[in-house]
Amino acid sequence: MNTERYHDIPSAALTAREVCQVLREVVLGRRTMTRVGNQSWEQLYACHFEVDVEGWRITIYNDCDELDYCERCVSPDGQRWEFDPGDRTDPIALLSTWEHQTLERMLKAL
């Protein structure tokens, strides 16, 4: 007999596709993105850059002024996605070339 209770089961993790969809909605103007912290994309240059997308906290890696990969995402309800070097699926990699370039321009403008 299984005695696990529902509150003992961790909340479902986000998928890379779900995080990608949030980023895609930013690119398409359906969601608003703001930077977290005082430093701009240019000031960080090669470091993690955190943004807020209507309650979604997304950390993106700025690799020498280029959008590289998503490090982590926490949804408003606390679900998480985190980068795993062994997993080839990254939300940024799921974006089209145009979406990637547009998101990079938007990050630089924050």
Q: For 10-65, how does the pLDDT look when each residue is reduced to its tens digit (9 = 90+)?
A: 457 899 999 999 999 999 999 999 999 999 999 988 999 999 999 999 999 999 99
Residue 69, domain member (yes or no): yes
Instruction: Give bridge partners of residue 70 from the DSSP assignment.
Output: 60
**Is 2 inside any structural domain?**
no
Note whether residue 64 is domain-resident: yes
Q: Other CB atoms closer than 10 Å to residue 63's CB: what's the count?
A: 12
Provide the residue range defining the domain that includes 35: 12-109
Query: pTM to 2 decimals?
Result: 0.86
96 located within any domain: yes
Instruction: Give how many domains the chain has, as a whole number.
Output: 1
1 lies in some domain: no
- pLDDT per position as a tens digit, 57-97: 999 999 999 999 999 999 999 999 999 877 778 999 999 99
- Asked whether residue 6 is domain-assigned, the answer is no
| Residue (of 68, 110, 81) closest to 19 by Cα position | 81
Residue 107, exposed/middle/buried by CB under 10 A (0-12, 13-18, 19+)? Answer: buried
